[in-house]
Structure 1
């Protein structure tokens, strides 16, 4: 993998230097630094430091990389930072403080004097690795290189461009918090900390990706979460060896969870801090990836993906009602179309009170083909709505609903019943809280439609049986995907269908294998 990040020095380049640049083959930043200077130590000569930065980081070619050479108290300094990440006010305070120093004020150990006495900043550390300092600069830090010193001073001056913590569009609630995660990791951690003010909340951070060095953070409560689960997730993340994570959490999920071609998600995504805090208190492990507003919650089950924050923002009765409506919608999105097609193909299966079901006219196309075209049409409209600018959204809706739907029925391409039941299934799909689960259910619905069309009753029964078996064998970190249905847990299953009042919800889910299963302590008499 040629190192395309290495820039050429300013000015004319010698033939030998140009040849060395063309021959470079580095898989990591450490290898690149060692290639150019022989080791990963920080040179004591500022000119050598500058030369390495030109060869490795592109200093002199990238306009946003700044290397400011200065002299403080008789010592030569090199200040390296990315202009788009730096907080100007912090940098000005530090530089103003150093500019007032006199050579007589500096002791023999100049580095220790600068670090301990003359840099008025809280988040500051010392580093002896050249590759680490370069990596820190690209993360938003700034670095002081000091003449005659093989150790640098690293300051946290990060100021990432970010939007506000707006309410997530996929997880809106009628009443409740309106803040949501954004693309900045530090902000997202703070939103969780605000809700879980527990010293047991641990926030680990590591970098993933040889080129992107993306920040990945693991959150858990150490006296609740299963330490074996935490260690398993940590080891899998540390073992990831990829070029980078430009698409953040989704690429990390595929790297640490090997699920093959199964469309069903093994993690729950959320953009709501309150939902994440609730799962942490239940013993789940949460993964945050920088540059992504989505947070991964593990382990998860099919029924976890069917729940929404709105149910817990209402009374227990209304929350249960909303949950039942949502489950009916998900059931309709899966089985309504195959069941209707079966009753049309086999009219003898219809009881007397369902004789109204079935098309009065067959249409010009077979019913299976009509359903397939309708499915593709819904997908096409969904993608079109995503890519359509807001001012044109109304026009696009009119085109889809009137020109396509109405005219297609009047010309005999579709029958009214197909459009009706397809609309029911689409509404159920949109009512599914998890976007990934809704897409997976759509694939299963299509498969069941083909099974019913070709094998009728046997096709539906065998299809549903295979569907349940596949979900049962689907494992989420060695936990059953259909828990608490398989293996059956009566109490947990009751809590799935009935939203319990807060004071009655005394135990944490056994799926997470928490250290402390009890949420509510018994009152001492």
Structure 2
């Protein structure tokens, strides 16, 4: 990909990001320098099993960490050992391998019990009944593999270890995501195990062109990150760019998984709007892969990142595609209306309260009949904070108690606040409507961002009234219009305007009439279906 520029490929000249050529790992030859030989000597596995055991004390805390096991055995006249972590090992499979090796005769051994040069190869090909076995001569890579859950088989007199894939991780079943439920459709969702999440996508896309590239991120956590794309659909420049950003990320660790990785490879700073779409549904991830997007899966996270994304990707839901086109379009418009109302109903009502002369004829009833003891702006702020407190309390409270707590908070606190004169009825009413619109937003991150926008508009109206509302709205729109994610305009298809994309955004089109992929991803295959 050397020489390609993403902005030129995507026709957005204001964001020029040149791709650097990928670096290949250099393997020193036998005639290398002394420094290379010394480094290689420190990293290579020793032929002495006792030396390897002593090195493991320093490399991974053997004898200090109770879960690091070094199980020594004797086969024939030669000592061997299994190095593994107790919590990540499938005991039944490993016991079966050990049992099989105990029946080993003198095959692969000399007359005096000495190992033949090809003995480890004999173990690899004949005596270890396992599908995934990999030879490795680098001790540091062996340690990394063991920390990732593999088991290393070492033998005295051999400088090669066999990495046995007998790992098992604690995991839950693929239950339906709590934030993306549908009435019709599949009920399985991503979990915290990377291999299971990849299998859920593979189950839906049985395309040999589907690629799942694995990478390790950070120095200490060494988190497994998988980048998925369809090779003959996804933009190769986009794929290369995301790959390079993941590989170039130099951090100490990413214990919070996908969120920290997102900030590392997207770098949106203090921008409240989400530039990456998260999904916990395998069918949603598969649909975006078929449209030319790239998905990023992070081990220990039940969410998958979809790149690139636009503002309108965050307001679509799988339920729309589980109904007829007419009903799906209706549901989409209701959701659009709810999001619009959640953004502007409170600032507009507040503005009309401050400037009642702006109200058209017939709407003179809008506005409070009496004022509360607190200023309207404080009432709005306290109501916003109160809704957030109830939401956080519901998240951290067991479900049966949370239901009762929500009823108490909604009825008693709201009713008492009105009767005591602290709040007025209209504030509670419009705050409830705005909260419904926020909760109807499919993207949780976008819902929180819209709440911040609403607070900014309320403060702007309180300070500057009409100019504050106009300028505040214009600045927010300018932020959305100028924002880009991997060269893709965030407010597409409105700006830049794209007619077919706009129709697809506003209407849930019938499946057979949707024959093209979104042009914003610049897919290699624009046609979705064969021409008839």
Both structures adopt the same fold (TM-score exceeding 0.5): yes
Within 5 A, what are the aligned runs for 1:281-360?
Answer: 281-360=290-369
**CA-CA distance at 1:402 after TM superposition:** 2.4
Per the alignment, residue 87 of structure 2 pairs with 84
Counterpart contact for 2:227–2:296, Cα < 8 Å: yes
SS in 2 for 1:264: coil
Per the alignment, residue 463 of structure 1 pairs with 472
Asked if residue 54 in structure 1 is aligned to residue 57 in structure 2, the reply is yes
Q: Quick one: distance in 2 between partners of 1:279 and 1:43?
A: 48
Per the alignment, residue 130 of structure 2 pairs with 121
Q: 2:185 aligns with which of 176, 179, 186?
A: 176
Per the alignment, residue 149 of structure 2 pairs with 140
**CA-CA distance at 1:157 after TM superposition:** 0.6
**TM-score normalized with structure 1 length:** 0.91
Asked if residue 151 in structure 1 is aligned to residue 160 in structure 2, the reply is yes
Per the alignment, residue 198 of structure 1 pairs with 207
Asked if residue 425 in structure 1 is aligned to residue 434 in structure 2, the reply is yes
CA-based RMSD of the aligned residues comes to 1.5
SS in 1 for 2:459: helix
Q: 2:392 aligns with which of 383, 394, 398?
A: 383
Within 5 A, what are the aligned runs for 1:213-292?
Answer: 213-292=222-301
Q: Tell me the alpha carbon deviations over residues 249-292 of structure 1, each in whole angstroms, 9 at most, x when there is no partner.
A: 00100111111110111100000000000000000000000000
Q: Tell me the alpha carbon deviations over residues 102-141 of structure 1, each in whole angstroms, 9 at most, x when there is no partner.
A: 1245454111111111111110000011111111111110
Q: Quick one: distance in 2 between partners of 1:177 and 1:35?
A: 56
Counterpart contact for 1:36–1:52, Cα < 8 Å: no
Stretches of structure 1 lacking an aligned partner (at least 5 in a row): 1-33
Q: 2:372 aligns with which of 363, 372, 376?
A: 363
Q: Quick one: distance in 2 between partners of 1:371 and 1:181?
A: 38
Q: Quick one: distance in 2 between partners of 1:101 and 1:372?
A: 75
Bigger mean CA offset, 321-330 vs 379-388: 379-388
Asked if residue 485 in structure 1 is aligned to residue 494 in structure 2, the reply is yes
Asked if residue 72 in structure 1 is aligned to residue 78 in structure 2, the reply is no
Per the alignment, residue 44 of structure 1 pairs with 47
Bigger mean CA offset, 35-44 vs 82-91: 35-44
Q: Quick one: distance in 1 between partners of 2:403 and 2:327?
A: 33
**CA-CA distance at 1:38 after TM superposition:** 6.6
Counterpart contact for 1:37–1:52, Cα < 8 Å: no
**CA-CA distance at 1:403 after TM superposition:** 2.6
Q: 1:99 aligns with which of 87, 96, 102?
A: 102
Q: Quick one: distance in 2 between partners of 1:148 and 1:105?
A: 13
SS in 2 for 1:159: coil
Bigger mean CA offset, 382-391 vs 162-171: 382-391
Within 5 A, what are the aligned runs for 1:387-398?
Answer: 387-398=396-407
The number of residues matched between the two structures is 490
**CA-CA distance at 1:349 after TM superposition:** 1.2
Q: Quick one: distance in 1 between partners of 2:375 and 2:345?
A: 18
Per the alignment, residue 527 of structure 2 pairs with 518
**CA-CA distance at 1:399 after TM superposition:** 2.9
SS in 1 for 2:87: coil
Q: Tell me the alpha carbon deviations over residues 12-61 of structure 1, each in whole angstroms, 9 at most, x when there is no partner.
A: xxxxxxxxxxxxxxxxxxxxxx9999711111111111111112211112
CA spacing shift, 1:451–1:129, aligned 2, 3 Å: same
**CA-CA distance at 1:420 after TM superposition:** 0.3
Per the alignment, residue 405 of structure 1 pairs with 414
Asked if residue 509 in structure 1 is aligned to residue 495 in structure 2, the reply is no
Q: Tell me the alpha carbon deviations over residues 331-387 of structure 1, each in whole angstroms, 9 at most, x when there is no partner.
A: 011111111111111111111221121111111111111111111111111111111
Counterpart contact for 2:73–2:79, Cα < 8 Å: yes
Per the alignment, residue 29 of structure 2 pairs with none
SS in 2 for 1:496: helix
Q: Quick one: distance in 2 between partners of 1:312 and 1:477?
A: 27
SS in 2 for 1:353: coil
Moved over 6 A (4+): 34-38
**TM-score normalized with structure 2 length:** 0.90
Per the alignment, residue 175 of structure 2 pairs with 166
Q: Quick one: distance in 1 between partners of 2:408 and 2:40?
A: 64
Counterpart contact for 1:36–1:55, Cα < 8 Å: no
Counterpart contact for 1:42–1:130, Cα < 8 Å: yes
